[in-house]
Structure 1
Amino acid sequence: MKKTQLARQLLEQVSRWLPHKPVEVVADCAYSCREVLRHLPPGVVFVGAMRADSTLHRPRTRPCRSPATGRLLTKDILLPKPEKIARDDKHPWLSMTLTLYGATTQVQYKELVARWYRSAGKLLLKIVLVKVPRGELSLRVFFCTDLSRTARQVIEDHGSRWGIEVLFRDLKQLLGFASSRARSPLAVLRTAPWVGVCYTLLVLWYMELGWDTSRMGLPLRPWCRTKHTVSFADILRLAQRTLASVDWVDPRLLLARLPQPTSRPRPRAA
């Protein structure tokens, strides 16, 4: 089964779990496809990305006849591709300041409402073109199935998925989620929740410590001299150093080192 088919089944399952709750899905180009977009459950808002050479159409707002045959035209109007719209000086670039990846960024953009028949069918999409000053791609094209969303919301929502991408990267490369040896059905079902619980406990443990970054002993990398924040790899390294000094042979000594909970005074009876 393809990953896009699994994504479609996952959306349908979540929609059944939350029948009266709004659900928002943020995905990259790989999942912004026909298999997912044409089978979105009701109440699901999809924010994704498309190629700069995608074919777009605009619905007709008034009846029009063909000048050659006189027949009534019913097909949508073919629009220029996003890469051509970006070069069109008739539609100037707009500018705004927003927060992306934790930093304030100045963004130039264009927006329109159109249909993307190849993947989304007749569904109207809010499409936002963003000029990229650096990188391999000079233009990024994002879209949203909710036409009431502003361009700021579409761009920031798509940027918010980066934290989820980093989470899966850490689960696979640092906690061994990608190299699990589980074979039985129950073991496979337990692996992902268990790895997620371990990740959550480690992050909460570090937040409970409240350590300053200078006390972490962050490694000095010649290729990254501007690192001032703590990553999950640093938290995992700190946990490994902490657990390495613990005496696991005698459980009583281990329990004796744990901080004792403070007892709260019981209220007196009247």
Structure 2
Amino acid sequence: MGQQTTCLWYGSFHTRTVRVILLRDDDTDSGYDLALVTTDLTTPAPALITRYAWRWSIEVTFAEARDLLGAGQARNHTRAAAERTVPVGLYCYTITVTWYALHGHHPSDTADRRERAPWYTTKTDPSVSDMLAKLRRAIIAARFLPTRPGQPTDQEIRAVQQTWATASLDAAA
């Protein structure tokens, strides 16, 4: 399972005492798969490992929002702009995942991705990067459609104008 030790970790923790918990899968014979460093010296290791596992998806979301969408990387010069950058990036992340779940997902997406990137042999689900790429392709395609979705055709515009003209003649009579 693992091993733990209490020590000083020079660098970011300076002279503060930390606990290092080293973990490995039962199938691993050498080395460790994960090292957790904490300043919490009293909580039992299994509770810390559980807390880390619960938090992991949140940390992945923050990392993807930063790396894929640039959240937190803008060069802002005012406090208000700096305070808006990360929330807007997280909103964009949320909008991308929601769009994909409601409109972009297709059962063949993962197989298509494995075909374009054959090194992903074990890929079973689309990543946020895949979702973002599909959203970008959809936006680009929509920009070059002969008519934009939601825009009336010339024939529909003439029909509405004719209806207005008829209604105004009826009102005048």
Please report the TM-score for the alignment, with normalisation by the length of structure 1.
0.40
Aligned 8 A contact 1:129 1:141 in 2: yes
1:37-48 to 2 correspondences below 5 Å: none
Residues in 2 aligned to 1:224 and 1:248: alpha-carbon distance in whole angstroms: 31
1:129 positional shift: 7.6
Which structure is higher in strand share? Answer: 1
Closer/same/farther in 2, CA of residues 249 and 227 from structure 1, 3 Å limit:
closer
1:140-179 to 2 correspondences below 5 Å: 151=46, 154-179=48-73
- Aligned identity (percent) is 25
Dislocated runs of 4+, deviation >6 Å: 141-147
RCO higher in structure (CA 8 A, sep ≥6):
1
Which of 86, 93, 100 is the aligned partner of 1:199? 93
Which of 116, 134, 140 is the aligned partner of 1:238? 134
Closer/same/farther in 2, CA of residues 150 and 173 from structure 1, 3 Å limit:
closer
1:174-185 to 2 correspondences below 5 Å: 174-185=68-79
| 1:10 alignment counterpart | none
| 1:90 alignment counterpart | none
**For 1:53, what is the secondary structure of its paired residue?**
strand
Closer/same/farther in 2, CA of residues 246 and 139 from structure 1, 3 Å limit:
closer
Aligned 8 A contact 1:203 1:235 in 2: yes
Q: Give, as a single letter, the amino acid of the residue that structure 1 aligns with 2:125.
A: T
Larger radius of gyration: 2
Q: Give, as a single letter, the amino acid of the residue that structure 2 aligns with 1:53.
A: T
| 1:53 alignment counterpart | 5
1:52 positional shift: 3.1
**For 2:69, what is the secondary structure of its paired residue?**
coil
Gaps of 5+ in 2: 8-15, 153-173
Residues in 1 aligned to 2:31 and 2:89: alpha-carbon distance in whole angstroms: 34
Which structure is higher in helix share? Answer: 2
Closer/same/farther in 2, CA of residues 223 and 145 from structure 1, 3 Å limit:
same
Please report the TM-score for the alignment, with normalisation by the length of structure 2.
0.59
**Deviation sequence 1:79-120 (CA, Å, 0-9, x none):** xxxxxxxxxxxxxxxxxxxxxxxxxxxxxxxxxxxxxxx648
Gaps of 5+ in 1: 1-50, 56-117, 121-127, 258-270
